[in-house]
Chain A
């Protein structure tokens, strides 16, 4: 289970919750608290206009299940399959008094809605001279592992991280998912909230009460002085696996989960590298112009004299996500691949300062 040592202590009752349940809790509580919060997307409830059951889906992964029965179709809005219209409606509504949470069933669908995200929502405040605010959340599922092939498995966080005006959130456990979703809804800027689809059933203790986690503050699921591993989203799981194995060998891994990649907690990474002098970044995205190269660049520019060995990255290759299980397994970064890189970086370069 993830160590939340740097999170503020939250009193009161906790419950074992999956990431799916934690996000659902966050949405429900915020909708109860604030009548301007609405949800819209494809089958966020499901069954609109059909003869069968209402709330038949609750989102294709069941994250918004049960919200329509409580809040009604006026606030949990099933839309046609029109991603540009979904994002546009959320952005326009956000400028006019609502706090919409729009769902892109699979984040790969930004392709047909990207103009509304990066040319419209992201740029409003700047283009309008600071006069507007756009408090919207775009939820989307990312990542491979479901054998869903090239158009339902992409890890496109780097594309949105590139865009000024957007914030990008990538929780790796249920505790963070709830607190970050609460913050995302209350935030006055457009927030991209990326949920890894293989992680929905992973559980940990989550406070029953509502709490928020500030953006731009990394967490440290494992701490150590020998090598820094930066991991996000599902890659945190692999980083913890590697750290726990190496801990038995007496090697301390400092595992950093930035939790939000825009804003990014530069300081946490640079401070860790200052101690360890060795850095491996694991990222499920493609290798070029990605988060891994971005973080490597930041450390090369601002932490060069702390480094005892070259920075290594573990990423997907420069290909689309393949379908066949053998190919997808080979495509995805893994604990094994990370272990190879960590051992390499531990063996390489100058010995201790």
Chain B
């Protein structure tokens, strides 16, 4: 067996946690319990977990507006996340960040980022710190097929190559930049060809296949850790929901989402593979399912009961270290 049982169970548990967290976010948003804008990543779980499962808290990731999955995969506390997304004082960011700015520096999670393409330049900085301090830590930025067209991302890729930074660029290509197709917005048609043009190893993988994605990212991460510089991995995937919760998705084809949920579900693909290979038993995963459902339920109950921030003390704090 190429993977330990512990590894496989961990991967499945994290993917399932993301799935249930996101599906529950939709429900809670629709129920009026989540303020603002929320973007969920259900359907894309395999990439987040494949990218983060081998990283330590000292390795840094930078995420996107669709960042819940990356947070969970990086080890952020699910209860703290749900409280944050509901704007509670005991949330991961004291309710000051919310879904689009959720972060946990202690876990090496440098933040979701509500500016498309905002993250990769910053992740270069984390990689530069690792290189300068000689820590052997790596940094990994999540991008979409949308942010792939931002100039900041081009600049970040070039600088990463020039300075040989330990930075893995992950492109989650779900086919849609908000409501515009990647095959319209990416002028070169192939992100991976374009990424290679920056002078770094570039590869395209099936992001629905946890194992293919994991192996590509493992190679990229090891290369970065060993001083080999940046790599770009494009992972093809499917977004089960809209750009934001509530997006009517009129731009999507008839039955597209229904078919994707049926035939392009990375969790189902994972289960079928590990059962077929004889690596895990269905019962083991069913047991995890129950535990995850209970954890998510608890996170919602706790979040709904959690205190709101107090404007008298919380509005003006945390702007500066000193002023």
Contact = CB atoms under 8 A, between A and B. Distances in A.
A95 B105 contact: yes
A129 B92 contact: yes
Nearest to B157: A85
A314 interface: no
Interface in B64-120: 91-97, 101, 103-106, 110-111, 113-115, 118, 120
Nearest to A102: B125
Contacts of B260: none
Contacts of B322: 187-189
Nearest to A94: B125
A119 interface: yes
A133 B60 contact: no
A167 B106 CA distance: 25
A15 interface: no
B101 A91 contact: no
A217 to B, nearest CB: 13
Contacts of B132: 36, 38, 74-75, 93, 98
A116 interface: yes
B60 A96 contact: yes
A89 B92 contact: no
Interface string A145-181: 0000000000000000000110100000000000000
B122 A88 contact: yes
A188 B321 contact: yes
Contacts of B159: 79-80, 82, 85-86, 89
A76 B317 CA distance: 35
A263 interface: yes
Contact of A93 (B103, B128, B162): B128
A92 interface: yes
Interface string A94-106: 1111101000000
Interface stretch (A53-61, A120-128, A218-226, A236-244): A120-128
Interface in B240-264: none
A258 to B, nearest CB: 14
A189 B320 contact: yes
A119 B115 CA distance: 8
Interface bracket on B: 35 or more
A130 interface: yes
A192 interface: no
B319 A95 contact: no
B111 A124 contact: yes
B318 interface: yes
A94 B110 CA distance: 12
Contact of B121 (A75, A87, A95, A164): A87
A37 to B, nearest CB: 10
B126 interface: yes
A88 B121 contact: yes
B122 A116 contact: yes
B54 interface: no
Given A124-B111, A127-B111, A80 B318 contact: no
B155 A92 contact: no
Nearest to B91: A129
Nearest to A112: B151
B103 A80 contact: no
B156 interface: yes
Contacts of B156: 84-85, 88
B125 A128 contact: no
B320 A125 contact: yes
A91 B95 CA distance: 23
Given A74-B132, A89-B128, A120 B122 contact: yes
Contact of A92 (B95, B115, B121): B121
12 contacts: A38-B132, A79-B163, A80-B155, A84-B151, A89-B125, A92-B60, A127-B93, A127-B103, A129-B92, A132-B105, A187-B321, A263-B323
Q: Which 6 A-B residue pairings sit nearest by Cβ, starting from the closest?
A: A92-B125, A88-B121, A129-B94, A129-B93, A130-B318, A96-B129
